[in-house]
Amino acid sequence: MSYFEKAKETFANLKNKDDLIILAIESSCDETACAVLKGKEILSNVISSQIEIHKLYGGVVPEIASRNHTLAIDKVVKQALSESGKTLEQIDAIAVTYGAGLLGALIVGVSYAKALAYATEKPLIAVNHIKGHIAVNYVEDLTLTPEYVCLIASGGHTAIVYVKDYDDIEVLGSTTDDAAGEAFDKVARVLGLSYPGGPQIEKLAMQGKDCVEMPTPFKNCTHYNFSYSGLKTAVINYVRKKENKGEEYNKSDVAKSFEERATQMMCDNAIRAARNKGVDKLVVAGGVGANKTLRKKLAQEAEKYNIKLYYPKISLCTDNAVMIAAQAFCLTRMGKGLADINLDANADLKPFE
Ligand code: KG4
Ligand code: ZN
Distances (CA, A) of 116 to 68, 124, 237: 19, 9, 51
Residue 309, CB-side half-sphere exposure with 13 Å CA sphere: 20
What pLDDT does residue 307 have? 98
291 lines ligand 1 (CB under 6 A): yes
Which of 154, 186, 256, when mutated, tests ligand 1's pocket best, judged by the most ligand atoms within 8 Å of its CB? 154
Mean of the per-residue pLDDT values for the chain? 96
Q: What is the pLDDT tens value at each position of the chain, 353 positions in all?
A: 999 999 999 999 999 888 999 999 999 999 999 999 999 999 999 999 999 999 999 889 999 999 999 999 999 999 999 999 999 999 999 999 999 999 999 999 999 999 999 999 999 999 999 999 999 999 999 999 999 999 999 999 999 999 999 999 999 999 999 999 999 999 999 999 999 999 999 999 999 999 999 999 888 889 999 999 999 999 999 999 999 999 999 999 999 999 999 999 999 999 999 999 999 999 999 999 999 999 999 999 999 999 999 999 999 999 999 999 999 999 999 999 999 999 999 999 999 87
Quote the ligand 2 centre to 318 CA distance (angstroms): 6
pLDDT in the model for residue 58: 87
Mutate to test the pocket of ligand 1, among 51, 318, 320, 322 (most ligand atoms within 8 A of CB): 318
pLDDT in tens, 118-168: 999 999 999 999 999 999 999 999 999 999 999 999 999 999 999 999 999
Find, among 102, 108, 93, the residue nearest to 324 by Cα: 93
What pLDDT does residue 353 have? 78
- Name 330's Cβ contacts closer than 8 Å, sequence gap at least 6: 135, 138, 166, 167
Q: Residue 8: how many CB atoms within 10 A of its CB?
A: 14
Nearest atom in ligand 1 to 129's CA = 6
Separation of 304 CA from ligand 2 center, angstroms? 30
Taking alpha carbons only, the member of 41, 127, 150 closest to residue 349 is 127
Please tell me whether the overall predicted TM-score, pTM, comes out greater than 0.85 for this model.
yes
Query: Edge-to-edge strand order for the sheet containing 31-38?
Result: 41-49, 31-38, 21-26, 93-99, 124-128, 338-339
Nearest-Å Rg of the Cα atoms of the chain is 21
- Is the CB of residue 146 below 6 angstroms from any atom belonging to ligand 1? no
Residue 319 Cβ < 6 Å to ligand 1: yes
Asked whether 175 and 183 are in contact (CB, 8 A), the reply is: no
Please tell me the distance between residue 337's alpha carbon and the centre of ligand 1 in angstroms.
27
Contact 105, 29 (CB under 8 A): yes
Q: Is 104 in the pocket of ligand 1 (CB under 6 A)?
A: no
Q: Provide φ and ψ at 24, rounded to 5°.
A: -120, 145
Look up residue 72 and give its DSSP letter: H
Identify the pLDDT of residue 160: 98
Instruction: Give 2 Cα–ligand 2 centroid separation in angstroms.
Output: 34
**How would you class 14 by CB atoms within 10 Å of its CB: exposed for 0-12, middle for 13-18, buried for 19 or more?**
buried
Would you state the pLDDT for residue 220?
85
Q: What is the pLDDT of residue 219?
A: 85
- CA–centroid distance, 156 to ligand 1, in Å, is 9
Nearest bound ligand to the CA of residue 197: 1
For 245-270, the pLDDT digits (tens) are 999 999 999 999 999 999 999 999 99
Strands (E), the chain: 21-26, 31-38, 41-49, 93-99, 124-128, 148-153, 158-165, 168-174, 281-285, 308-310, 338-339
For ligand 1, say whether the CB of 290 is within 6 Å of any of its atoms.
yes
Atom of ligand 1 nearest to the CA of 31: 3
Tell me if 269 sits within 8 A of 226, measured CB to CB: yes
